[in-house]
Structure 1
Amino acid sequence: MGGDAGSPDWRLVPGALAVWLAGLAGLLVHWVLAIVVGGVAVVLGVVHLRHTKRMPVIRAGWPLVACGLLALCPVAWRVREAANDPLRVAAAHEAVVELRVEVAERPRKLRASGFGAMPSGVRSVIIPATAEGSRVLLFAPVDQWAGLLPGQQLVAGGTLGAAEPGSLTVAVLRVRGPPAEVTDAPAWQVAAQGLRAGLRQASSVLDEESAGLLPALVVGDTEGMVPSVDDDFKAAGMAHLLAVSGANLAVVCVAVLFLVRLTRVGPRGSAVAALLALVGYVVLAGPEPSVLRAGVMGAIGLLALALGRERSALPALAVAVIVLVAIDPAMAVSFGFVLSVLATAALVLVVPGWVDRLARRRVPRLLAEAVVVPAAAHLATAPVVAGMSGQVSLVAVVANLVAAPVVAPATVFGLGAALVMPVFPWAAEWLVRLAGPEVDWLVVVGRWAARVPGAAVDWPSGWWGGVALALLVGGLVLGLRSRSTRVALGVAVVVAVLVLLPVRVLAPGWPPPGWAAVACDVGQGDAVVLSTEDHERAVLVDTGPDPAPVRECLDRLGVRRVALVILSHLHADHVGGLESVLADRSVGAVAVGPGRAPEWAWRQVRAQTAAAHVPLVSVTAGQRMAWPGLTVEVLAPQGEEERTETDGTAINNRSVVLRATTKAGRVLLTGDVELAAQAALLTGRTDLAAEVVKVPHHGSRYTAPDFLAAVGARIAVVSVGGGNRYGHPSPHTLTALTRRGTHIARTDRDGDTAIVAGPGGPAMVFRGDPRPPRR
């Protein structure tokens, strides 16, 4: 096979698989297995060499021996060193240390969630670094740490914690305080940072959504991304456009090759020019794993071009796998690496044959390639994506097909703007304006695809889910080769449509008619929507831990205007989604109680409301607010502004407690109040009676039976995330509710839960549940 110019050259593939398997087994199981895999590869290579005359089909003996030796060293050696690193022992004992580290990658912002969020707030940073050759991960406050650059050395103090298994990272350092003894960043990193900042500045002439998307598209800089756009791209299967990949490098290299060829430079000179452009682009985008991965692949391909060996891209892919895993064995377990290899393999092995078949059926080759490339890449990567996310996107192929024509020109114009911004800002602005229509189109496509009903279907997550989908995809690809199988599949699709469509049409829609309140399924957090007579306008109490779930819940309800957002308290699982609510709808005001802690969250809420030009107001016990069809009373807490709470329980007990009077009855919203606050409400003789109660603190065990008795609710809603690490809801709390005959709804099991008016009082309706309302 290796000698046929028209077929792929497979000789390096067994060796690449051996190196990859050594890294995979060594990291996920034990480093000894990496030695076993390497030894087996060497033995098989030697045996193959001795029988080459009898087995001439694939002459992979020498490559397999070489790759087996690479699996032994450096792969197995690096994995063993990481497994026995002294910092792992210190991390197991949660030692308090000071480490001299070197920043390896640009800080990445992290949205924390849950009431136990780090003091750094909703947006902390993760910084991959090295400490005397050992890989560590820093969790640090965004304020003092977000501006660091790769190559800077510093002293970081904090508490060590265990790193995620299956990685070369040996410990996590939860940083306390600012960095110390910080050295200067390398000049080329400072220059690259300046170019990235210039691109963000030049992009400001576009609308907010497009201005944040363009730097992400060009250099993977997601600093200014609007959360709703980010969420749409993920739902539409277009998130790969937000990270630098081989596609970006291909666009840059093709543009450079085109310009150089106009000057009549030969193939080798053109390849050298493209290689220099590739190196410069990698520096500009930053030394992230995805960038380096794409850079190595592109460099090997250009080297093959310079040497005149354009016959097959498969050896280049195999060499890229070998080089990357040998240099960094952690690549072997990287989902991004797997996706990149699978997508490239599909383009090399599958796309040419599919395009030829369509061309023989008189489909124009350009159209055939436009259809086949995203389809093949999506089918090849779908099992991995399904195993990661537990979902299979049904719109990704179409969305990427529609988006593909504008990606290249937007990237070229954006890159040009970044390069000329330091010298000719006016030219950079015009280049950004040229990229504007393309970026606007990407925003529209992502939003459209994410809003398609059934855009993604649930699928078992984990390894088994990925394997199951891989078998299904493989069976479909093989089956479609047979005409009888294609007919059978067509009949099956028609039958499925005829059976499932009426079920979807006859099933009750969402939201249910006359809904009064909805507890949104936002994971481990709270978000409750109270309806006015105009169902397009509502009051929102808390926003959950993340932007996407609350936005999707409001979209499902058709709520376009939010008269008031009330934040019961400032823990991250109640305020994390505020930014997306402010960005996506018309908001009248945001209200908070007397509590102003934690301080980071208070600063965050003030900044977000100020940026959205939305008033920030205070509420306290005794206030009453009314809208058509809805009245909200503030029952607690009383007192002046309080900024000194630091304990999580104290902050919970300062939660705003509300009673909403709706057309379905009274709904008591309790935030996260615990025993002390509940006792204060009882001793203060506050009227707590309500037909529906949102159970305090996600159903924690710190809920007094006397408090539940005073409420006397017929329906209790527990807003909680599945499999959370806090053990919510507590069996004791659920038992106390059950003994009173209270009907319980849980968002982790029932999803969005609506309260509607029934003949005998309020009733519950669960999204997608075809059964009648439950009382």
Structure 2
Amino acid sequence: MSLRRIWADPATAPDWRLAPAALAVWLATMLGLLLGWWWVVVGAVAAVGAGIGIVLAARGRAPAVRWFRVGLGWSLLVCGLLMAVATTGRLREAEQDPLRAHARAGGEGQFRVTITGRPRPLFSAGFGGQQGGVRAVVVPARIRAAVIDGKAVASTGRVVLVAPVDGWSRLLPGQDATTTAGLAPARSGELTVAVLRVRGPPDDVSEAAAWQRGAQELRGGLRDAASVLDPEPAGLLPGLVVGDTDGLSRQVEEEFTAAGLAHLVAVSGANLAIVCVAVLFLLRALRMGPRSAAAGAALALVGFVVLAGSEPSVLRAGVMGAVGLLALAMGRERAALPALGTAVIVLVLWDPAMAVSFGFALSVLATAGLVLLAPRWAERLAHRGVPRGLAEALAVPAAAHLVTAPVVAGMAGEVSLVAVLANLLAAPVVPVATVLGVLAALVAPVSSWPAELLVRLAGPEVDWLILVARHASRVPGATIAWPSGWWGGLLLVACVSLLVAALRRRHLRVLVGAALTGLLVVVVPIRVVAPGWPPPGWAMVACDVGQGDALVLATAEAGRAVVVDTGPEPGLLAGCLDRLDVSRVPLVVLSHLHADHVGGLDAVLGERTVGAVAVGPGREPDWAWEEVRDAAAEVGVPIVQLDAGHRLEWPGLVIEVLAPTAKEVMLPAEAEGTEINNASLVLRAATPAGKVLLSGDVELSAQAGLLDSRADLTADVVKVPHHGSRYTTPELFTAVRARIAVVSVGADNRYGHPSPTTLRAIDRTGALVVRTDTGGDAAIVPGENGPRAVARGPTRGPP
């Protein structure tokens, strides 16, 4: 159906009667989760009272007015009663679940759980003594039985398991498993009653349902078929088709987020629309009637939901699609808004947790924008001479981005300025890649070669999406920082409202146009032509990669630099190297193998010419060593070992290895964090800006060893060990006598870095403290009286 037809005449105007009821259910449930279950009672009473009042006030009114008010009143009345009966009890039960008290007290217990969602990889730090990496999964589940301190706990609440990959990553929704786990409190404002920290594999696992096993086989077949593509598109295609992002590289994921394309790798109404429309066109081409075609599309919808899995986003999209197809089968063309209202009511009543889900809010707002704004905008563009197809292509992403921008800003702490253009460029290939991917998944269990052929046909489309995301995310000023949280979202709503109000008035419209023209004339040249970064003659840059280390040492050759550590994620390091225009990396040095130092290695190996990867004598944690070794082998880059006494030279740069020696590093298997930190490589680099001491994450014992070794530790600049942790001796800073101390640290990190005690110790030496969490990328440049520090400014919000 053309967008124009929705608003062409009053008979097809949106039907608003369900909208207030949907908002009442959503808002009351949200308040119940955030503030207490009794807020649902307040909302239910208010909805019932308003419904009765509106129905009574409709008496004696004109038929059209009475029809509208009676429908509005009854919807409020019924939804209020449903909230009072269903939602109140569920929120009260979850809030008073006895497992919450045990979770606050900590401890350990034995649990029988039912898996309720597919396991998702966990990329954060702090699991099982490791400092990150994909060695844990997050598994949503529901308690069937719990025993704590030998006593049974009467709980049936929702829990989240943080568990090892081995054994847990293969579980499917509906399976039961038994485990011993430590307890931790869940986040407030959710139905989840506790977090279970699991260290071992699951026991007594029940068999999954046949349809779940079949769907898993289809998804696995798609992943296997996609392996004929290069690694990045191979990981993206399953995400694009069924939301399977397990193989998606962190760099591509971050680029899609910055470009405003993240919704493409989360199953949404768009995926279902593509599949259902394709089936509809096929069935109508076979001369089937509208209702028969809609029934066939409904079967396709159910099949796709089974294939993608019973995730909240999938079920959300499935309900919306089902209501829309029902409206189509009944011949009600103006039922788009009632379908959306019905979906909101049904989903929030069925799963109250959706009321506080960012994904749910994004889905609802995007659909509302497409229904209410896009048709009007497309019509106005068409009246101004824009071709109909182009007008709709412009209006759809613009409307979706406008209405979802406040939620995205509050969630991510940034506003994308390239999302509309990126979505416009991506839109033509998404349906083709999705349909080909679904077909590949369906035929893969039967025969591999047709599936691989279909995947190869989808390959150029997926490559195009990666290309669009990569270039869009690296446009200077592609995103702007914005206050995060609810206040940030409300602030953007106010700004957008003022902008829309201004554009509706002719004299203000001219003023806004002049201001935007001024921004284009002044700001764009400043950001693009002369961005002011990096500062001329930079010798070292500490990249703002959040809670991690990534340092770049310049050589005398343009575009050539040594990278020391790569941070926790590829995307942030890739952006830093792009800003520095580094294309050749003769050596990547990994001080030690914790994920906050090696997680971004793909950003260097994947896009730049690399001579070698250097590591110290330590090889723990074992999983991280295997990942580094495999990543280097995949691109044919050799790995070399550095020990104390090694000296490396390039034009304009000399690096000495001060510690450790191979004899000093005797790490046991499953070494803990402190032992691995103390095995960090310690380097001293001679640069045009002076000497720089790079200390990795060495802690007290390794620092004492350095001081006892009588090695010359003096330097003009020191990279503060371990992100400024409290495990740093003041004697180290006294021995170094640096003028500048660089702290590479993430904003509002959960470790409390940098420690106030460590900062006071640095202050006593008179050194200038430069922090990446407050200053962003930090460059060291030569000065007349020694090195100077230049900060670029914060580039990201809190992790």
Which amino acid in structure 1 is aligned with residue 39 of structure 2? L
**Partner of residue 354 from structure 2, selected from 331, 349, 364:** 331
In structure 2, what is the equivalent of residue 773 of structure 1? none
Alignment pair present for 1:277 and 2:300? yes
Deviation, structure 1 residue 199: 1.3
In structure 1, what is the equivalent of residue 599 of structure 2? 576
Alignment pair present for 1:23 and 2:29? yes
Check 1:604–1:355 CA distance in 2 against 1; reply closer, same or farther (3 A cut): same
| Contact 1:507-1:768 within 8 A present in 2 as well | no
- Matched residue count: 768
Alignment pair present for 1:743 and 2:768? yes
| Contact 2:294-2:326 within 8 A present in 1 as well | yes
**Partner of residue 212 from structure 1, selected from 235, 252, 260:** 235
Distance in 1 of aligned mates of 2:783 and 2:320:
63
Distance in 2 of aligned mates of 1:274 and 1:265:
12
| Contact 1:10-1:58 within 8 A present in 2 as well | no
Distance in 2 of aligned mates of 1:115 and 1:148:
20
Check 1:298–1:533 CA distance in 2 against 1; reply closer, same or farther (3 A cut): same
In structure 1, what is the equivalent of residue 120 of structure 2? 108
Equivalent residues in 2 for 1:292-691, closer than 5 Å = 292-501=315-524, 504=527, 509-640=532-663, 641-644=665-668, 646-691=671-716
Check 1:194–1:122 CA distance in 2 against 1; reply closer, same or farther (3 A cut): closer
Alignment pair present for 1:40 and 2:46? yes
Deviation, structure 1 residue 385: 0.4
In structure 2, what is the equivalent of residue 129 of structure 1? 141
Secondary structure, aligned partner of 2:606: helix
Secondary structure, aligned partner of 2:318: helix
Secondary structure, aligned partner of 1:515: coil
Deviation, structure 1 residue 318: 0.5
Deviation, structure 1 residue 452: 0.9
Secondary structure, aligned partner of 1:367: helix
The worse-fitting range, judged by mean Cα deviation, of 402-411 and 758-767 is: 758-767
Which amino acid in structure 2 is aligned with residue 102 of structure 1? T
Distance in 2 of aligned mates of 1:5 and 1:141:
57
In structure 1, what is the equivalent of residue 148 of structure 2? none
Distance in 1 of aligned mates of 2:525 and 2:573:
29
In structure 1, what is the equivalent of residue 152 of structure 2? none
Check 1:207–1:652 CA distance in 2 against 1; reply closer, same or farther (3 A cut): closer
Alignment pair present for 1:155 and 2:167? no
| Contact 1:516-1:664 within 8 A present in 2 as well | yes
Deviation, structure 1 residue 442: 1.1
| Contact 2:128-2:199 within 8 A present in 1 as well | no
Deviation, structure 1 residue 766: 1.8
The worse-fitting range, judged by mean Cα deviation, of 236-245 and 601-610 is: 601-610
In structure 2, what is the equivalent of residue 68 of structure 1? 80
Q: Deviation per CA, 1:637-663, whole angstroms, max 9, x where unpaired?
A: 124353317343232222211111112
| Contact 1:114-1:524 within 8 A present in 2 as well | no
Q: Deviation per CA, 1:394-419, whole angstroms, max 9, x where unpaired?
A: 11001101111111111111111111
**Partner of residue 279 from structure 2, selected from 250, 253, 256:** 256
Check 1:347–1:506 CA distance in 2 against 1; reply closer, same or farther (3 A cut): closer
**Partner of residue 58 from structure 1, selected from 61, 69, 74:** 69
The worse-fitting range, judged by mean Cα deviation, of 538-547 and 283-292 is: 538-547
Alignment identity in percent?
Answer: 62
| Contact 1:569-1:655 within 8 A present in 2 as well | yes
Which amino acid in structure 2 is aligned with residue 266 of structure 1? G
The worse-fitting range, judged by mean Cα deviation, of 506-515 and 144-153 is: 506-515
Which amino acid in structure 1 is aligned with residue 142 of structure 2? T
| Contact 2:130-2:672 within 8 A present in 1 as well | no
| Contact 2:414-2:480 within 8 A present in 1 as well | yes
| Contact 1:212-1:222 within 8 A present in 2 as well | yes
Secondary structure, aligned partner of 2:14: coil
Distance in 2 of aligned mates of 1:692 and 1:314:
61
The worse-fitting range, judged by mean Cα deviation, of 115-124 and 699-708 is: 115-124
Distance in 1 of aligned mates of 2:735 and 2:275:
68
Distance in 1 of aligned mates of 2:200 and 2:515:
62
Deviation, structure 1 residue 343: 0.7
**Partner of residue 713 from structure 1, selected from 738, 742, 745:** 738
Which amino acid in structure 1 is aligned with residue 17 of structure 2? R
Deviation, structure 1 residue 669: 0.6
In structure 1, what is the equivalent of residue 153 of structure 2? none
Q: Deviation per CA, 1:561-610, whole angstroms, max 9, x where unpaired?
A: 22222222222222222233322323222222222333333333333333
**Partner of residue 170 from structure 1, selected from 189, 193, 196:** 193
In structure 1, what is the equivalent of residue 748 of structure 2? 723
| Contact 2:131-2:595 within 8 A present in 1 as well | no
Q: Which runs of 5+ in 2 are unaligned?
A: 1-8, 145-155, 795-799
Q: Which runs of 5+ in 1 are unaligned?
A: 770-775
Secondary structure, aligned partner of 1:530: strand
| Contact 2:44-2:83 within 8 A present in 1 as well | yes
Distance in 2 of aligned mates of 1:290 and 1:511:
42
In structure 1, what is the equivalent of residue 207 of structure 2? 184
Q: Deviation per CA, 1:76-116, whole angstroms, max 9, x where unpaired?
A: 21111111112111111112112111111111111123698
Check 1:693–1:405 CA distance in 2 against 1; reply closer, same or farther (3 A cut): same
Alignment pair present for 1:78 and 2:78? no
In structure 2, what is the equivalent of residue 12 of structure 1? 18
The worse-fitting range, judged by mean Cα deviation, of 457-466 and 225-234 is: 225-234
Secondary structure, aligned partner of 1:728: coil
| Contact 1:119-1:600 within 8 A present in 2 as well | no
Which amino acid in structure 2 is aligned with residue 581 of structure 1? V
Q: Could you say what the CA RMSD is over the residues aligned between the two structures, in angstroms?
A: 2.1
Deviation, structure 1 residue 504: 4.6
Alignment pair present for 1:222 and 2:245? yes
The worse-fitting range, judged by mean Cα deviation, of 558-567 and 502-511 is: 502-511
Distance in 1 of aligned mates of 2:264 and 2:416:
16
Check 1:394–1:252 CA distance in 2 against 1; reply closer, same or farther (3 A cut): same
| Contact 1:675-1:704 within 8 A present in 2 as well | yes
| Contact 2:774-2:793 within 8 A present in 1 as well | no
Which amino acid in structure 1 is aligned with residue 74 of structure 2? W
Secondary structure, aligned partner of 1:449: helix
The worse-fitting range, judged by mean Cα deviation, of 476-485 and 367-376 is: 476-485
| Contact 1:569-1:671 within 8 A present in 2 as well | yes
Secondary structure, aligned partner of 2:106: coil
| Contact 1:114-1:545 within 8 A present in 2 as well | no
Deviation, structure 1 residue 501: 5.0
| Contact 1:227-1:580 within 8 A present in 2 as well | no
Distance in 2 of aligned mates of 1:280 and 1:226:
28
| Contact 1:19-1:70 within 8 A present in 2 as well | no
Deviation, structure 1 residue 433: 2.3
Secondary structure, aligned partner of 1:521: coil
| Contact 2:177-2:202 within 8 A present in 1 as well | yes
Deviation, structure 1 residue 337: 0.5
Deviation, structure 1 residue 165: 1.1
TM-score calculated relative to the size of structure 1 = 0.95
Distance in 1 of aligned mates of 2:15 and 2:495:
27
| Contact 2:14-2:335 within 8 A present in 1 as well | yes
Deviation, structure 1 residue 725: 2.4
| Contact 1:245-1:290 within 8 A present in 2 as well | yes
Q: Deviation per CA, 1:200-237, whole angstroms, max 9, x where unpaired?
A: 22222323322222211111111222332222111110
